[in-house]
Amino acid sequence: MSTRTPLMAGNWKMNLNHLEAIAHVQKLAFALTDKDYEAVEVAVLPPFTDLRSVQTLVDGDKLKIKYGAQDLSAHDAGAYTGEISGSMLAKLKCAFVVIGHSERRQYHREDDALVNAKVKAAYRHELTPILCVGEGLEVRKAGNQVAHTLAQVDGALKDIPADQARGIVIAYEPVWAIGTGEVATLEDAQEVCGAIRGRLAELYGQEVADEVRIQYGGSVKSGNIAAIMAQPDVDGALVGGASLDAEEFVKIVRFGD
């Protein structure tokens, strides 16, 4: 039996302005109870422009909900127009930062070297990376999903020491299942999540591998979360579309109940 506390995180993507963000977090705060927070960790990942508002609400009302950003710069400061640094996110008391989401890899050509630099930037500012990995449809069809995903894990964790790696969250998100309504089968999800833990054990030893939380992401809903969470190497979910509906997200946090 795992002692890992599941992490249920809502990736809002480019949705909800700061006023909508406040209303949404208030709805979540109203619905979630101490019992929920005893069972799981809950986080929202709003757009950058919402973070200050979310911080004010969370701090002011002492909410137990955590929050983080969807990306960060690999640099700490300087002439990088449009970028947001890890120190800025830390100042807003972000707990998490998503790194290497497939939409950034696809639309912003982020490669493993940049993802690795961003993981290092996150650790410089004591932010917990939610590292996204996962294969596209072509790779899946060719049966290379494990090799492809483990290569992304290796690339992202290059030169990351064990004491940092033990705190990382890895989200396995098969790209063909994101926002498509296609959910990986339970065997598919467990196969790759199990392989990720195996690679962590090779890189850092079993003790570290057993500590790392591995999420599944890809069309998670209240109707499929229980079966997904029953997989031995799945320790939570990264939820996109369904996290924009507060009632649905709360059901997911409760594993569908």
Q: What is the 3-state secondary structure (H, E, C) of 135-165?
A: CCHHHHHCCCHHHHHHHHHHHHCCCCCHHHH
101, two tokens: 């989401």
Residues 6+ apart with CB under 8 A from 243: 9, 10, 11, 12, 44, 249, 252
Q: Whole-angstrom Cα distance, residue 204 to residue 191?
A: 20
Among the listed residues 173, 188, 191, 233, the single contact to ligand PEP using CB under 6 A: 173
| 13 appears as a binding residue in the annotation | yes
- Examine residue 145 and tell whether it contacts ligand PEP (CB under 6 A): no
Among the listed residues 240, 249, 251, 255, the single contact to ligand PEP using CB under 6 A: 240
| 224 appears as a binding residue in the annotation | no
Residues 6+ apart with CB under 8 A from 198: 209
Q: Output phi, psi for 82, to 5 deg.
A: 90, -5
| 2 appears as a binding residue in the annotation | no
- Examine residue 252 and tell whether it contacts ligand PEP (CB under 6 A): no
| 158 appears as a binding residue in the annotation | no
Contact 149, 176 (CB under 8 A): no
- Examine residue 170 and tell whether it contacts ligand PEP (CB under 6 A): no
The distance of closest approach from Cβ of residue 61 to ligand PEP in the complex, given in angstroms and rounded to an integer, is 27
Interface segment toward ligand PEP; rule CB under 6 A; list 19-27, 58-66, 186-194, 239-247: 239-247
Give residues in contact with ligand PEP (CB under 6 A).
11, 13, 173, 178-179, 217-220, 238-242
Q: Where is the binding site for substrate, in residues?
A: 11-13, 179, 219, 240-241
